[in-house]
């Protein structure tokens, strides 16, 4: 199983490019909201949290499916 082939998948790349900045924004809103005592940043954290979790779950599922497919193909050859 070659991880480079799996990680070069188009959908994994898209999920990474969307998910990482969104996750950073989510965590920054949480920290800044607590530090500044801003309720608006807390709401922004709550608004960005579900998409971040969904993107992370989709990435993990896609990676596992691709790894399983690669392992099956390698055992057949």
pTM value is: 0.86
Domain, as residue range, for 36: 3-76
Query: What DSSP line would sit under the chain, residue for residue?
Result: --HHHHHT-HHHHHHHHHHHHHHHHHHHHHHHHHHHT-HHHHHHHHHHHHHHHHHHHHHHHHHHHHHHHHHHHHHH-
* Counted domains in the chain: 1
Per-residue pLDDT of the chain (77 residues; tens, 9 = 90+): 567 788 789 999 999 999 999 999 999 999 999 999 999 999 999 999 999 999 999 999 999 999 999 899 889 87
């Amino acid at each position: 199983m070659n991880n480079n082939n799996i990680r070069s998948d188009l959908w994994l790349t898209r999920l990474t490019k969307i998910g990482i900045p969104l996750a950073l924004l989510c965590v920054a809103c949480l920290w800044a909201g607590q530090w500044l005592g801003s309720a608006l940043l807390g709401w922004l954290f709550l608004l960005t949290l579900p998409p971040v979790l969904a993107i992370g779950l989709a990435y993990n599922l896609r990676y596992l499916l691709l790894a399983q497919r690669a392992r099956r193909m390698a055992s057949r050859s």
